[in-house]
Amino acid sequence: MPSSALSAPMASIGVPTEIKADELRVALTPDAVRELITQGLEVRVQSGAGQGAGINDEAYAKAGANIVNREEAWAAHLVVKVKEPQAEEFCFLRKDMVLFTYLHLAAYPDVGEALIASGTTAVGYETVQMEDGSLPLLAPMSEIAGRLAAQVGANLLERPHGGSGVLIGGCTGVRPARVIVLGAGTVGWNAARLAAGMDAEVMLLDRSPERLRKLESHRNGRLISVVSSRGLVERLVPTADLLIGAVLTPGGRAPTLVDEELVTQMKPRSVIVDVAIDQGGCVATSVETTHTHPTVTIHDVQHYAVGNMPGAVPFTSTEALVSVTLPYILGIAGRGLEEAVTERPELLSGLNIVNGAVCHPGVAKALDIPPRHPMACLR
Could you list the active site residues? 104, 278
| d(C-alpha 58, C-alpha 254), whole Å | 41
| d(C-alpha 337, C-alpha 180), whole Å | 42
Residue 238's alpha-carbon distances to 202, 207, 224, 233, in angstroms, are 14, 20, 17, 9
* φ, ψ of residue 352 in degrees (nearest 5): -90, -45
3-state helix vs strand vs coil in the chain, percent to 5: 40, 20, 40
Query: Do the beta carbons of residue 224 and residue 236 sit within 8 Å?
Result: no
| d(C-alpha 164, C-alpha 267), whole Å | 9
| d(C-alpha 188, C-alpha 143), whole Å | 9
With a CB cutoff of 8 Å and minimum separation 6, the contacts of 79 are: 13, 14, 15, 16, 73, 97, 98, 99, 100, 101
- Cα 166 versus chain centre, distance: 29
Q: Which residue type occupies 369?
A: I
| d(C-alpha 363, C-alpha 379), whole Å | 21
Q: Which residue type occupies 163?
A: G
Residue 199 in 3-state DSSP? coil
